[in-house]
Structure 1
Amino acid sequence: MTNIDPFEVVESESIPGAVLEVVQYKALKGSDDLDVAEKVFFANQADIHLKMIRVKLDKSELLIEPGALYFMKGALQLESSAQGGIAQGLMRKFMTGETLFQSRIKGTGEIYLEPGFGHYLLVNVDNDALIFDKGVFHCASAGLEVSAKMQQNVSSALFGGEGFFQTQVKGSGVVVLNSPVPVSELLMYDLAAGEKLSVDGNFAFVRTAGVSFHAEKSGKSLFQSVTGGEGLLQTFTGPGMVWIAPTQGVYDKMKLQNSIANLSHAQGSMGTRT
């Protein structure tokens, strides 16, 4: 029997010992259940694809969240441990919501992670660190470590909408992140030293470690902020990169009942306000 690859590669990053790919089914062919077949039909009509992460290892390793493995083939070994030790694992779990133990797959072969209709962002980290919210981490290649990162100031912790701790990936390698919107809709800003980016909402979801983050009141008065739907701004100051998802608020609003009609006129914040 000849195996036919049903996938098409959407995005790929290669480093020594590993190739990390976002692959998707070209089209789902349906089900013997009519309700499921109907949903598959509309997904195909809307050009929504079932995706997964495929990793090809050559005497290397991959760090994943427990439960993320779907299947693997080759001379591969699965191990679970608290990366950085129990203390680091406990901090990561209770401060960021990430799991205490993380799974590491070592060897040579192909790894497939759990499929879904979500979106993935591949970032090649070169002796740097990325900071992001809980639930964003998906997997990482060898050379990267995952830990908890405390906010730099009180304003960002109390009013920034991200809590006291976020997740940090540090080192050199490729990390796969869960993106709230299609990657084509993301904006990535490379901020110069002292350059600011202010966001009215929590749709700035990844930044490099050199970017400082704090919350500040908008230019309006308190009364104007409350009545106008604007309040505290998430402010990022360079140097470094920030990824934002401007369409996230639109999709969140569309999930609400009768929200399509409300989108015909812009009404201030898109519902992602902190």
Structure 2
Amino acid sequence: MNRLPGRTVLIAGAAGGQGRAGAVLFAREGARLALTDVDEAGLGETVDEVLAEVPDAQVLARRVDLRNLPEIAAFVAETEARFDGVIDVLYNNAGVNHLDAIENVTPDDWDRVYDINLKSAFFLVKYALPALRRSRAASVVNVSSGAGLLAPVDGNGVYCASKGGLISLTRAQARDLAPDGIRVNCLLPGPIETPMVRGFFAAMPEEERVAAEQHVVGRSLFTRFGRPEEVASMAVYLATDEASYVTSAIIPVDAGWTAV
């Protein structure tokens, strides 16, 4: 507790799942929060949960469409204005899925997934870079997926490609930002109990759903879904001084899901 007192953490994709869990865990560590998501109602619920846990937490929350680069830039600027011009941690957690056969995927489907899963992660760093450089110990945590390394089910090509790209982007960002003392790492969650994962299975035909869940969870050595806080706690660790020599790390949080 209290490993990040007074540090500013910007969380993209904060309306639920790993983003909401991260908001609570970072607040417990004394961090100031800048939260964004396109889901305004979910974002409000996250703020309520944070304040229920940490009543004196400093929280800025705004609806931002991560496909809209001017909105991203404006939110970063508002975060700087609110929190002394410094961003210490950028938690790139936003993500969407698209499940469909190759022949059915449209350019718009592709662009939506890539814009949110990969493009926004690049431009959030770009726009936040001046504020990250003002930090004494800046950290970027990108959230990819085990699907960036393997294809867990049929019809998952667009998502897999975007998450594989985020792994490569992490390595490139780590190299580019090392001279500024900014660490960049990447988490690869396995099957985690989040609204997005549940939506992923819900999009399948009913006759396929149970078998797909059993197949996906069965790869885990613990044969269960992970909890959002099990991913978010690793993001918190990577943001602390305890991880000061960790950069360009690609870390599965998946109970062996990608290893066996």
Whether the TM-score (by the shorter chain) exceeds 0.5 is: no
Q: TM-score, normalised by structure 2?
A: 0.31
Larger Rg: 1
Report the TM-score when normalising by structure 1: 0.30
Write 1 or 2 for the structure with the bigger share of helix.
Answer: 2
Higher relative contact order (CA 8 A, sep 6+): 2
Higher strand share: 1
